Amino acid sequence: MQTASLSRRSFLRGGMRAVAPAVRPPWARAEAAFLAACTRCDACIDACPTAILLRADGGFPGVDFSAGAGECTFCGECVAHCEPQALVRSAEGGAPWALKAGVGRGCLAESGVECRVCGESCPVGAIRFRPRLGGVALPQLDADACTGCGACFAPCPTRAIAMTVDRVANEFPTESER
């Protein structure tokens, strides 16, 4: 299993001072091949219309869903501008990345406070709210439907959404991850 590229505490909350490796732009080659190919030219960063790509560790590009418009639209502009082909989209398409959202313990609804912001932010309807007798509706994330676009991350008022490559949807983070 791939190590989570995003650490909620060190990367998403702490900007680019990440100790964990950054999440690379969509359609990035596997990390070693990406690092070998990427010339740190910033072309992908400059091309991203939602401005979620920033210089990360060592000057290599990384994704920050708290930056810019906060979501990847999978427009492919970063790939199109990557001349060294550190980012490559095959003719068959293929998933841009293995990122998925997960809802963690800071969730207001889990604490009994009505909130559906993440569900309202999701462009593909991957977060639905499950009614509960005697309580507020709880978010339920469909991992298969989630594209990892990150649109639900920044709007969450408690930053309860985690974007990770190895987290099962709705699996709550451990205390050591907080």
The count of residues interacting with ligand SF4 (CB under 6 A) is: 42
Q: What is the 3-state secondary structure (H, E, C) of 81-141?
A: CCCCCCECCECCECCCCCCEEEECCCCCHHHCCCCCHHHHHCCCCCEEEEEECCEEEEEEE
Exactly one of 6, 115, 152, 154 binds ligand SF4 (CB under 6 A); which one? Answer: 152
Q: Which of residues 61-120 bind ligand SF4 (CB under 6 A)?
A: 61, 72-78, 81-82, 84, 86-87, 101
Q: Which two tokens stand for residue 112?
A: 């009994």
Min. distance of Cβ 95 from ligand SF4 in angstroms? 12
Min. distance of Cβ 46 from ligand SF4 in angstroms? 8
Radius of gyration over every alpha carbon of the chain, rounded to an integer in angstroms: 16
* Separation of alpha carbons 101 and 90, rounded Å: 25
Residue numbers of the site for ligand SF4 (CB under 6 A)? 25-26, 38-44, 47-50, 52-53, 61, 72-78, 81-82, 84, 86-87, 101, 121-122, 124, 126-127, 141, 146-152
